[in-house]
Structures are given as structure tokens and as C-alpha cells.
Amino acid sequence: MTTLRSSVLRLLCWAIGIGFVLYVPFVLNTRTVFGYRVGNMVLLNLGLAQVDLMLISIIGAVSLNFLTGCAGLISVGHAAFFAVGAMAAAAAGQQLGLPFAATLIAATIAGAIAGVIAGLPSLRVRGLYFVLSTLALHFIVVFCFAEYQYAFHDVAGVTMGDATIMGFELDNNVKWYFFLLPFVVLVCVMLQSTLGLREGRAVLAMRDNELAAAASGIDVRMLRLKVFAFSSAIASLAGALQAYYFTSVSAEIYTLDTAIQFIAMIIVGGMGSIRGGIAGAVVWLLLPSVLVGTTVELKVLPGGVAQFLVGHQPQMVNLTFGVLVAVLLITAPGGLAGLARSFAARGSRQGSGV
Amino acid sequence: MPTIRHASRWKALLLSGAVLCLAFNASARAANFESPQDGVYADHIDWGMTADMSGPSSGAQNPWGQGFQDAVKVVNEKGGVGGRKINVLVEDTRYDATAERVAYEKFVSQTPALGTSGMGNSSAQTAMVPLIKRSKLPVVGTYTTAKAAVEPPTPYFYGGFCGFKEMAQTGVGFFTDHLALKQPTVALVHLDVASGKEYAGYMEAAVTARGGTFKAIPIKVVAADATPQVLDILAMKPDFVAIHGVTTTSILVMKAMLQYGINAPAFAISYLGTPTVYDGLGPDAGKNYYFVSCFSPASSDLKVSVALSAAADKFGHSALKDDVNYVAGYVIGNMVADAIGKAGAEPTREKLSAMLNTGYVANTGGLSSELKYTPTDHFGLTALKPLSFDYATKSFKSYGEYADFGKYLQ
Amino acid sequence: MLMQFLASGFMLGSVYGLVALGFAAIYKATRVFNFAQGMLMATGAYLAVTGSVVLGLPLVGTIAFVVVAAGTLGVVIQWLLIRPLAGRPLLAMVMITIALSIILRALIVIIFGGGAQTLRLGLPEGSFVLGSVRISAIHATAAGVSWLCMALFMVFFRFSKAGLLMRATADSHEAAVLSGVNVNRINATAWALGTILAAIGGVFLGQLQVASVELENIGLLALPAVVIGGLQSIPGAIIGGLLVGLIEQLSSGYISPKARDIFVYVPLLIILLVRPWGLFGERELGRV
């Protein structure tokens, strides 16, 4: 009886969730809910472009979370892999004239190869030294990107071809949303199921105790390279998608800051779980808008305070994020996903007590 | 967290209800024109503005944004445009292409605006040309103008700052004549980024057109020292030097030139003609430092800058009125108000862009060179003049009128 | 030409070395890899602006103000952010320093605005010629003061009781705790010293150009410097700083300024692969 009810409930939840995900782009695009126009703040000051970019960031964040949270390899090289993806897609599309879909595959393969190369230092060093090797990698890749850009493209940026798939051009945000969504789902499902496989369990074992993992017959070195290649292939794919979304990208956009933001995302969301990566990307990409919108709404506050907040909006947003990361690190190492889990656990404990 | 969100949602609902009631009342009374999808309402017009207010170029773009907003505030105090106040929707884009795009799309449909200004990121502009053509939200008065955005011109993009090509031609022309040179030898110190490469191209063309010798010397955006660059300059013995970069670039290069006893004059791009640079240089290194600009700092022409000074003093920006970036924002703010007025009593995006596209001349009150758009040219400003700072009188000094230097442009 | 590059590289490298030394002091005592070192350096420049421009202090007063304020800041950082994370994994430690630099940057821009600030302390200007090399007085002062600070630090670290305790704690945290050393106080001292050294570096770099938050990116060059020299080695940090300064000047002078990144980070990568403990460090765990 209870199992039936709960399974129906679960089905209902899924249906509502899927309905929501499918309906959201139309709401954000037309700014109407079932035909009624709604105010900007009702939609939390969010736009569809932000959501599309968030989807791309989710792909990046979950792949980094797989590398850092699940395999224990800290990397500040994620912006570099985005750059590798963009570069490979541009080279395949513009120099070789391959179609859009093929360039995405090329970007993924290039990312995997770059990942193996970038992962080589992991054979010799780990911990902090490995972080530093990815830092060096970042600067080297960005240098190469700039050289490639100036050699083969305009100084203003690397131009990407049209994103056309079987005669269907991705030329607005709604189309992009429905194009990106399957990628996000696919990547998340793939990573989740990988964790369930023997290899995935070996990855977790390696993170938790490397010596024990090695003793039980896992080739730790090979595994690390595989994980790195896997994660950077996904990041490169995201980088290629981002480049096509922008239509033109410049070396200047791949900053160390971008790489650090990905780490911040997984810390905020929660390390070591797919859910954490998603939650982090959602918060990191959407919260600024909500905060900015709220400060505008706060005009009702006494004159000086409101003026100060509105006048220092961008700094206030940065400050909030810095403090958010610090507070989460100190008080909730599991991030938002961890908080939600402990919240749910407490809820069910109380429920069972009644 | 959820409670806060709820509260703001309720507040927003209440607010939008109130706005609806107000709008209804107003329309019942005067049957005023409204076009919410264009950001035009009975009593106000929403206008977008993006600038880097917390990122790497915020030092220059913040003054621009302040100037823009101060100009609009003055317009609003005088009753606005056609009875409507202009409400500037400000977005900080942190010199980030992603943020620039999100902000533009926001002004398209989320909080619709009649048009948008600023967009001081040429890489983002280049990437956004297809989007702008599709969305048809006019970008009017930019802080920088990417070549791809105006060549060929689209009805939805209008520049608002002096161009790199014109800076190079004016600077090279002026100094060649001023120093009575036949074939100038010119060294350029430029940033090793996209805009620096572009400027180096224009400089080389301008120098070689006069049969001179040219050398481009790159420097990093984040530099701690300019010794290698200045030693290059020393070896070349140029007649004059050109500088493209950020505040730090000018200061490092000029100070190092002083240190090595290079007495050649240097001229910088418009963005670097700020009190901050002159202040950082001090009189010894600053006496050889010039810049070319299509905007006049307040103290360079006290007759034309009365209104600008009054606005800057009134809104607490007195320190900025000698900053060409502030002046530029102020001029563009006024131009936007004027252009909206000229788009008719019932302005829409379509009417505004059609009006600008058929030809428009702004009245900038002498604060800048002629600012006009023609069907074939959406660049806006072309003429520049050389300026420098007089440490004795603490004021900027110009070396002629804008019209005097039109001859150097090709 | 070469002598000139070497001279300017040496002077710039001295300032980098100073910042890197502060970095190494923090790392050695607390095992925190401080990504905020660059921002602490920028903070030093702004502290000098506060002292000289806002408070109108004379040169000596400004220096005293910078040292006291930076020391206090270091202690506050250790107490507020680092102490609660004691014993947590590497990523948390790295990320907290990144959060720190985000917070500091936002605070600086809120207080001083985004634009650059002119910093003029009344230090000697002008230049003099030494052999075939022309040296600016301000560069020479910066280098001289940097070496003086480094020497003072070495003396403190070698011969003072606090320095001895610091070395003991760095060698064995557990042993130090067991023998009743107040590890928290040692860590706070290390953070105070590290922040002061970064701040002094920032004062000079701010004086050479302007005080702005973008100084952070110059300060970040202390990272490769300290790793090339050896994370565990105090002299290594100084020599690493000098090397980075020389590499920067020579690569800008003979190849292209863009090449700096390549010539700094490729050796870093090679060192990590071949000799992860750095040129002067001692072999330690952290390798496979």
C-alpha cells in the first residue's frame, strides 16, 4: 500500500519535474506563464540566455566534480580544456570544413588527448604539486590559443561556423536550450552510471585510500590518466558548445578566474556527487542575477543603505560569493548537496519518530 | 532562503500590480502611447547600459557609466524626453563576454529596453553581431567599436567613441608636422591583446604612408616593469612614441623613458588621457605625455564644459570631469536622450533605428567632435585633437580645434 | 643591453622574492598554499595609500602603519578563516585562500573605488649610472629594502625563539603540539609575517606604477617562483623570485613579452616532473 502510494508520488514528482524543465524555456523566453505576462522579479530576474550558459557550465562542473570530488585530483585546468575544445572545434570546422556535429566529436577527442597529456604529471606528483602542474598547463594552453587565434583568425576572436545540425540552425535561445539539455542529461547519466561500474568504484577507492586500492590490484596510475582524459573530454565538449553559442571566442575569455569559478561551483554545490555539480553551477550562474534584482527591489530601504547597495552592486555580489564559499567551506564541507542530504535525513528521522 | 525569495516575489507581485493600476489610470487620462515590448511606457522609457564596473577595465569604464547616468539625470530633471523620464537599467558586465551577452538579451525581452549603450568589449561585440541583427534592439553609443560591428553597417549598431584608426592617423599626422619631420621614425608600445594588434596595424599604415620607419613593441597587460620595451625604444631613437594600453602601461613606459633620458614626446590612445595617468606620472615624466581624443576634458575648454561641470559637481563626480571617459559617457547620455526625442512622440526600437540609420547629427555642445551617423557610416565620431596636461595650471590644454585635424584622416 | 636586463631583472626579482618569501613562510608553518598572496600584495599598496594619502602620514609613519595593519590583517585571516579549517583536505585550504582574495578585492573596490590610486611616498626619484647600467633610484630602493627585509626575516627565523618554534612546528606538527607549543600562535605569527612581506612588496610595486587591484596578477608570479625554488625552502623562495624576475626581463627583451608565461610556466612544469621538491627544497612526500 505505502510502496504503491510512494511510487505513484515519485512518478508524479518526476512528471512535474520534467514538465517544469520542458516548460521553463518558453516562460523565460516569452515572459508569460500560461499566457499571462509576469514581472521580471517574479521570474527572479532570470533570462533564457543565462539558463543556456548555465547548462554549459553544468557540463563543466559535473566533469570537474568527477575529477576532483570522485577521483580526488584537484585541477585548475578546466578553463584550459574549454579552450582546447573551442580550438579543436574551430580548427575542424574552419580549417578542415567539417560539419557542426563532427566538430563536436573532434573537440571531445582533442579534449581526451589533451587530458592524457595534462594528466602525465599525475604519474609523478600529486596533491599540491599536481594543482600547480595544471596551473602551468592553463597558461601554456591559453598562450597556444592566442597564437592560434592570431595566426588563423581575426584579432577580435576565433570565429565559429554556424551551429547547424541536419539543416536545423541553432539560432535562438529556445533551440539552444533543447539542444543542450540532452547533452546535460547524457553527461550526468553517463557519469552516474560510471560510478556504479567496477571502474567507478575503483576511482572512489583510489580517492579514499590509494595504497589499499593499489594493493587490491587496481592500476592506480592508468586509472588516474583515464579519469583525467574522461573529464577533460567532457569539458572540451562543453568548451566547443560554449564557443558555438558565442559564435566567436577570444583567448582573453579563458582566464584563470574561469577555472577557479568551476572549483567554487563544486564546493558550493558539494563535492563528489553529480547533484553537487549541478547545484553549484545553478547557484553560481543564477544567484548573481537574483541578488542584483533584489538590490534593485530594496529601494524601499532607508535612503543611504539602498543607495550604497545599488551603487556597489557588483562588488556586493562578489563579496557575497566570497563569503558564501568561505562560510560553506567552514561550516558545511558537503556543500549544498550535503546540506540538503542532512536536512532530508533529519526530516525522515523525525518522520519515523512520529 | 526560500522565505526571502517568497517575500520578494510577493513584493514584486504587489509592485507590478501597483504599476499596472498606475499605467491603467494614465492611459485612461491621456491615452498616452505605450509599447512595453520596446521598453516605452506612458511615463518613462527603459534604456539599457552595460559597462565593466568591477572587472579589469572598470577604472576607465566606471567613469564612463557615471557620465552617462549623470547626463540622463539632468535630462530627467528638466522633464525627460517627450514627457517621459529615461530609466537607465545598469548591468555590470565585468569585461566578460558571457555577461555582456546575458545583459543584451535581458534588455531584448526580459526587462525590455528601447536601446542600450556602453558595451565596452570589442570581442563580445564581434561575437554578438548576428545576435544584434536578429534581436533588433539598437545598440547606440558604444564605449568601443569593433570593426565587425560597423563594417558593413547594420541599422542596429552605432558607435560612440573615437576609433583606433583615427587615433593613429591624427597622432602620427600631428607629431610629424609639429616636429617638422619628413619621414618620422615611430615606436609603438602596445598591449599584446587583440585591440593592441589592431592598433599596431593602423599605426604601421599611418607611419608608412608618410614614408617613415615603424616598430611595434608589445607589452603585457599586467606588467611590473617596462625596461625591455624602453631599451627597444632607446635603440631605435624614434622621433616620437605611441602608447596603447592601460593606465599602468602609460605610467611604466613614461617613467622608464624619463629614467633612460629619452626626451621624445609620446602620445597615447584616448582612453589613457586621464587625470589618474597624469597624476601618477608627475610633472617630470608627464610633460612629454600627450594623447589624442575626440572628447574634451572639462578644463581644456571652460566655455563649452559649463553644463558638464555643473552636472558633475551636482552628482558628486567633480573629480571625474577632467576624465575623457566621463566626458564621453556624458556626451553619449545626452545623445541618447536627443535621439529618443527625434524618434518621434511614439518611439519604438524600429523607429529609433530607422531614424538613426537615415542620418543623424547629435548636438554635443562642443564637448566632442562632430557626432553623426550616415547610412554608410555608423562609427559616429571621427575627428580627434591632441591634448596634454599643464601641471602649472592643473588643466588640460588642446592643440587646436577638432576641425584642424580632419586633414590627417583618410 | 644584457647587463641592463640583468640589473632590472635582479631588482624586480628582489621584490618578487620578498613576496615569495612571505608565501613560503605561510606555507612552511601552516601548510596553506596561499593563492591570496597576490591580493595581499595589492592590499599592501592600498594600505600605503591609506597611510600617506588618506591619513596624511609622513614616510616613516606610513611604513609603520602598513606593517602594523598588514600584521593585524594576517592574524585576523588566520583566526577567522584558516584556524577553523585545520586538518581539512588540501582543496578546502586552497579554496579558502581564493575566497579570501575575492573578498579582499571586493572590499578594496567598495572602499577605494575601481580606479587606480596614485601612490607617492616621497621616496627618492631619478636615476644614476653604474658602469654601463642605468638604475632608477626607486628600483634600487625597492631592491635594497627587499633584501633588508629578507635578511631580517632570516635572522628572525634562524635565531629568535619564535622562529625556532616555527621551524619546529614546520618539521613536525604533532611533536610541536605534544611538547606544548602553542601552534595557533605560531601559525598566526607566520600569517602576520607573510602578510607584512607581501604588503611591503605591494608598496613598492604600487610606487613603481599605481595602486590597483590588478597588482594581484603580478603578485601571483610568486607562485611559480616559490615552487621553482622549492616549497620547503626559505632561500629557495628568494632565489625563485629572482629567477622569475630575470626570466621576465630576458624573455621580454630578447623574444617577446608574451613569452614570459611560457618561460616561467614551462620550467615550472619541468621542475614539477623532474624535481617536484624544487631546486633547493628537500625531498618530501607528495610524490607517487
Domain boundaries, chain B: 32-162+305-375, 164-293+385-408
Percent of chain C whose predicted confidence (pLDDT) is above 70: 98
Q: Does the interface ipTM go beyond 0.90?
A: no
Q: Is C263 on the interface with A (CB under 8 A)?
A: no
Of the residues A319, A321, A324, the best mutation for testing chain C's interface (the one with the most C CB atoms within 10 Å of its CB) is A319
Chain B partners within 8 Å of A47 (Cβ):
102, 105-106, 109-110
Determine the pLDDT at residue B15: 54
Q: Is A75 on the interface with C (CB under 8 A)?
A: no
Q: Is C272 on the interface with A (CB under 8 A)?
A: yes
Which cell numbers hold the place of B1? 532562503
Q: Is A332 on the interface with C (CB under 8 A)?
A: no
Instruction: Give the Cα-Cα-Cα angle B76, B77, B79 (nearest 5 degrees).
Output: 65
The whole-number average pLDDT for the span B280-284 is 91
Name the CATH superfamily, with its identifier, for domain B164-293+385-408.
Answer: Response regulator (3.40.50.2300)
Cβ atoms C35, C23 nearer than 8 A: no
B4 has pLDDT over 50: no
Give the number of other CB atoms < 10 A from CB of residue A5: 9
Q: Measured between CB atoms, which of B59, B218, B284 is closest to C257?
A: B218
B351 has pLDDT over 80: yes
Q: How many CA atoms lie within 13 A of A300 on its CB side?
A: 7
Nearest alpha-carbon partner for C13 in C201, C258, C227? C201
CATH number at residue A50: 1.10.3470
> Which amino acid does the sequence have at C112?
F
B95 has pLDDT over 70: yes
Q: Which residue has the cell 519535474?
A: A17
Q: How many CA atoms lie within 13 A of B154 on its CB side?
A: 22
Chain B partners within 8 Å of A155 (Cβ):
194-195, 197-198
C158 has pLDDT over 60: yes
Residue B191 phi, psi dihedral angles, 5° rounding:
-70, 145
The whole-number average pLDDT for the span C80-84 is 93
The number of domains in chain A is 1
How many angstroms away from the CA of C266 is the closest CA of chain A? Answer: 7
- pLDDT, one tens digit per residue, over C102-132 is 999 999 988 988 778 888 888 887 788 888 8
- Coil vs helix vs strand at B363: coil
pLDDT per residue of chain A (354 residues) written in tens, 0 to 9:
567 788 899 999 999 999 999 999 999 988 888 888 888 888 888 989 999 999 999 999 999 999 999 998 899 999 999 999 999 999 999 899 999 999 999 999 999 999 999 998 888 887 888 888 999 999 999 999 998 998 888 877 888 888 888 888 888 899 999 999 999 999 999 999 998 888 888 888 888 888 888 888 888 889 999 999 999 999 999 999 999 999 888 888 898 889 999 999 999 999 888 999 999 999 999 998 888 888 777 666 666 777 777 777 778 888 999 999 999 999 988 889 989 888 888 877 665 544
Which cell numbers hold the place of A220? 592506480
Of the residues C94, C102, C105, the best mutation for testing chain A's interface (the one with the most A CB atoms within 10 Å of its CB) is C102
Determine the pLDDT at residue A155: 78
B32-162+305-375 CATH fold: Rossmann fold (3.40.50)
Identify the closest residue of chain B to C251 by CA–CA distance. Answer: B228
Q: Measured between CB atoms, which of A128, A136, A319 is closest to C106?
A: A319
Of the residues B227, B281, B323, B324, the best mutation for testing chain C's interface (the one with the most C CB atoms within 10 Å of its CB) is B227
Q: Which residue has the cell 579552450?
A: A83
Give the number of other CB atoms < 10 A from CB of residue B33: 16
Interface of B with A (CB under 8 A): 4-5, 8-9, 11-13, 15-16, 53-54, 90-92, 94, 96-98, 101-102, 105-106, 109-111, 122-123, 126-128, 130-131, 134, 146-148, 193-195, 197-198
Query: What Cα–Cα distance (Å) separates residue B256 from each residue in B229, B239, B404, C124, C130?
Result: 9, 17, 33, 15, 16
CA separation for the pair B368, B329 (Å, rounded)? 11
The whole-number average pLDDT for the span B302-325 is 93
Q: Is A170 on the interface with B (CB under 8 A)?
A: no
The whole-number average pLDDT for the span B34-38 is 89
Hey, which residues 58-117 in chain A have their CB within 8 Å of chain B?
none
CA separation for the pair B225, B231 (Å, rounded)? 12
A154: which residues sit within 8 A by CB, 6+ positions away?
B126, B148
Cβ atoms C91, C69 nearer than 8 A: no
Determine the pLDDT at residue A162: 85
Determine the pLDDT at residue C123: 83
Determine the pLDDT at residue B168: 96
N- to C-terminal Cα distance for chain B? 60
Which cell numbers hold the place of C150? 629578507
* DSSP strands (E only) in B68-130: 85-92, 116-118
Query: What Cα–Cα distance (Å) separates residue A196 from each residue in A189, A191, B130?
Result: 11, 9, 44
| Record: contact B255-C208, CB cut-off 8 A | yes
CA separation for the pair A326, A323 (Å, rounded)? 5
Chain C partners within 8 Å of B63 (Cβ):
115
Determine the pLDDT at residue B1: 35
Q: Is residue A353 part of a domain?
A: no
Q: Is residue A1 part of a domain?
A: no
- pLDDT, one tens digit per residue, over C170-218 is 777 777 777 777 888 889 999 999 999 999 999 999 988 889 888 998 8
Cβ atoms B352, B290 nearer than 8 A: no
| Record: contact A29-B109, CB cut-off 8 A | yes
| Record: contact B59-C248, CB cut-off 8 A | no
- How many interchain CB pairs under 8 A, A with B? 106
Q: How many CA atoms lie within 13 A of C30 on its CB side?
A: 34
Cβ atoms B247, B276 nearer than 8 A: yes
Determine the pLDDT at residue A264: 92
CA separation for the pair B353, B344 (Å, rounded)? 12
Q: Is residue A220 part of a domain?
A: yes
Determine the pLDDT at residue B5: 45
Percent of chain B whose predicted confidence (pLDDT) is above 90: 72
Phi-psi region of A166 (alpha: psi -120 to 50; beta: other; left: phi over 0): left
Q: Which residue has the cell 572628447?
A: B295
CA separation for the pair C286, C288 (Å, rounded)? 7
Cβ atoms C128, C137 nearer than 8 A: yes
- Coil vs helix vs strand at B218: strand
Identify the closest residue of chain C to A146 by CA–CA distance. Answer: C258
Which cell numbers hold the place of B103? 545583459
The whole-number average pLDDT for the span B61-74 is 94
B199 has pLDDT over 50: yes
CA separation for the pair B343, B345 (Å, rounded)? 7
- pLDDT, one tens digit per residue, over B96-154 is 888 899 999 999 988 899 999 999 998 899 889 999 999 999 999 999 998 889 988 99
Residues in chain A: 354
Rounded to the nearest integer, the mean pLDDT of chain B is: 89
Give the number of other CB atoms < 10 A from CB of residue B406: 16
> Which amino acid does the sequence have at B277?
V
Determine the pLDDT at residue A2: 64
B304 has which bridge partners? none
Determine the pLDDT at residue B41: 93
Cβ atoms A245, A301 nearer than 8 A: no
The whole-number average pLDDT for the span B367-394 is 93
**Structural domain of A89:** 20-348
Determine the pLDDT at residue A350: 63
Nearest alpha-carbon partner for A260 in A135, A145, A137, A143? A135
Which cell numbers hold the place of B78? 528638466
To which H or E segment does residue A284 belong?
Answer: helix A274-297
**Segments in chain C forming alpha helices (H):** 2-30, 37-49, 59-77, 90-112, 137-159, 161-171, 173-178, 183-208, 215-219, 222-229, 234-254, 259-274
Q: Measured between CB atoms, which of A39, A248, A253 is closest to B12?
A: A39
Give the number of other CB atoms < 10 A from CB of residue A130: 25
Residue C282 burial (C-beta neighbours within 10 Å; 0-12, 13-18, 19+): exposed
Determine the pLDDT at residue C115: 78
Q: Is residue A11 part of a domain?
A: no
B27 has pLDDT over 50: no
Cβ atoms C210, C119 nearer than 8 A: yes
